[in-house]
Amino acid sequence: MTKKTIVPMPVIRRLPRYHRYLEELLKNDVKRISSRELSERMGVTASQIRQDLNNYGGFGQQGYGYNVEELYNTLTKILGLDKTYSTIIIGAGNLGQAIANYTNFERTGFSLKGIFDINPRLFGLKIRDIEIMDVETLEDFLSKNKIDIAILCIPKDNSQIMADRLVKAGIKAIWNFSPIDLKVPDDVILENVHLSDSLLTLSYRINEENLLKAKVEEK
């Protein structure tokens, strides 16, 4: 399916949020925070935070709470943000361009090395100083450049074929924006951003009360 994680995914998904909060606290010059305060701000229980962090060793002292900077630095390391990553984007449409321009990436160590598209009119154009290249040259490019993450921003009809090509060319991590559940080997990491799933969750929530009310009335 995709590479299995050792720590459960729900735990992992909370880590970037902890990291974000601690970054805010650091900016506001907060030196330490109690687990209760941190939990109130984040809307999770204090024991949840403790349990989550215990996967990576012990943090915080009884009666003192967390040293903000220390915990922030540790989370930086846990999230792998003390390293840099080479990335390429497949698909230079609106979304691909938006991702290429997403300023957070460079700042946090994700370095864009190439953008590929199928449309000849885009070849040679530049986004953030990176030239858009013919996707036919992808394999050649990957044989000459060590790329850690491929970002897939193409329509769903072609995305499985493209994922297969990337995997065959040695890519071990895919950030997928296509609205499809890609099939990749067990040693490949697949992280999806399914925008339409998120939007459908929103429309569900707009209607939930009426929906469940109607169900009760039916009975």
| Known binding residues for NAD(+) | 91-96
Give me the least distance between CB of 112 and its own copies, in Å please: 12
Is the CB of residue 115 less than 8 Å from the CB of residue 86? no
Is the CB of residue 5 less than 8 Å from the CB of residue 12? yes
The answer to the question of residue 141 lying near its own copies (CB under 8 A) is: no
Which of 86, 94, 141, 169: binder of its own copies (CB under 8 A)? 94
Q: Parallel, antiparallel, or unpaired for β 32-33 and 66-67?
A: antiparallel
Annotated binding site: 91-96
CB closer to its own copies out of 140 and 197: 197
The answer to the question of residue 97 lying near its own copies (CB under 8 A) is: yes
DSSP E strand stretches across 91-182: 110-117, 126-127, 130-134, 149-152, 173-176
- Token pair, residue 155, equals 């329509």
Say how far apart CA 58 and CA 70 lie, in whole Å. 12
Say how far apart CA 166 and CA 157 lie, in whole Å. 16
The answer to the question of residue 161 lying near its own copies (CB under 8 A) is: no
Interface ranges with its own copies (CB under 8 A): 1, 3, 5-7, 12-13, 15-17, 19-21, 42-43, 56-57, 77-81, 83, 85, 93-95, 97-99, 101-102, 104-105, 108-110, 148-149, 172-173, 175, 179-181, 189, 191-209, 211-212, 215, 218
